[in-house]
Homo-oligomer: A and B are copies of this chain.
Amino acid sequence: MKTHWIAVDWGTTNFRAFLLQDHQQVAKIAHPCGLLSLTKETFASTLGQHLAPWLQEYGALPIVMAGMVGSQQGWQEVPYVTAPAGAQNLMAHAYSVSTQWGSPAWIVPGVNNLSAFGQPDVMRGEEVQLLGLHALHPGTEHYAVLPGTHSKHAHLCHGEITHFSTFMTGELFSLLSQHSLLGRALPEQTDDDGAFLAGVEAARHGAPFSHLIFSARTRRLNGEIPPQHVHSYLSGLLVGHELAVIPQETRAWVVGSPSLTARYQLAANALQIQLHAANGDDCFLRGMTALRTQLKDTI
């Protein structure tokens, strides 16, 4: 088995590739060439072009890819694996793609399930971070929050994703701050923890969302929230609404960039939830390594 290999995170807007030796990162590249900037025919050549320096140096290294690259709009649609799903199950359903330069390459499938709230739900890419979280912090049970445009909350049992739910927190924040009445005619915004926590507090009691968010207007009108902190308040409402589904005293993980996990920890603290942070990139690489390990007999 070659010790060098390449892990690729290929999403809607970005392409990131990591050159690894076993599970140690050797080099990294990133390009803004996500799905939106590509057609089906250009995935293979784009990959070859970006990886050329590594391939020239190390030969036809194996490549494992995850993310929206496996969606309908991606290189090749790879059907979802239904939860419960672990590394073994996922790699058994990985899609093998051929490369002109002879690298063995796979696209990892996403996961689907019926959420705890009875809604059909899907993920593509986050499953890798979840596997990595378990690899970095082994345990019997994990509740993990992956904040983002479409945040994911997932349960792991012995490292398998048993069920999960999506929350459109980041996208709703963008919509409401940029396109709604709530964000209209605001001065330049500055981050404010007080306004953020006021939003978290307002959201904790389970008011219906479409009612709750109107308070970003009324609290600004009545002077409770200064006009330059409306975005912070709105962010608190959204994060609070998302975290309010987690029972108090729960010990959970938040996986992401340090700035984002810190924001979620601030909210969680106000909600009496114990939220431990894990670095999103570390989890991704460990998750990819766990998936690659499944290929031992193949390459």
Chain A residues within CB distance 8 Å of chain B? 72, 112, 115, 117-122, 150, 165-169, 171-172, 175-176, 179-181, 202, 205, 207-215, 218-219, 221-222, 224, 238, 241-242, 244-245
Contacts and interface: CB of A to CB of B under 8 A. Distances in A.
B207 A210 contact: no
Given A121-B218, A122-B221, A221-B122, A209 B179 contact: no
Contacts of A168: 180, 210-211, 213-214
Contacts of A120: 215, 218-219, 222, 224
A165 B241 contact: no
B202 A119 contact: yes
A245 B208 CA distance: 8
B211 A210 contact: no
Given A120-B215, A166-B211, A171-B180, 7 more contacts: A117-B205, A119-B214, A120-B222, A121-B214, A175-B176, A179-B179, A208-B245
A242 B208 contact: yes
B207 A209 contact: no
24 contacts: A72-B221, A117-B207, A117-B208, A117-B212, A118-B202, A118-B205, A119-B211, A119-B214, A119-B215, A119-B218, A120-B218, A120-B219, A121-B215, A167-B208, A167-B211, A169-B210, A171-B180, A171-B181, A175-B175, A175-B179, A175-B180, A209-B210, A209-B241, A211-B245
Contact of A212 (B72, B119, B214): B119
A241 B117 contact: no
A210 B241 contact: yes
A209 B169 CA distance: 10
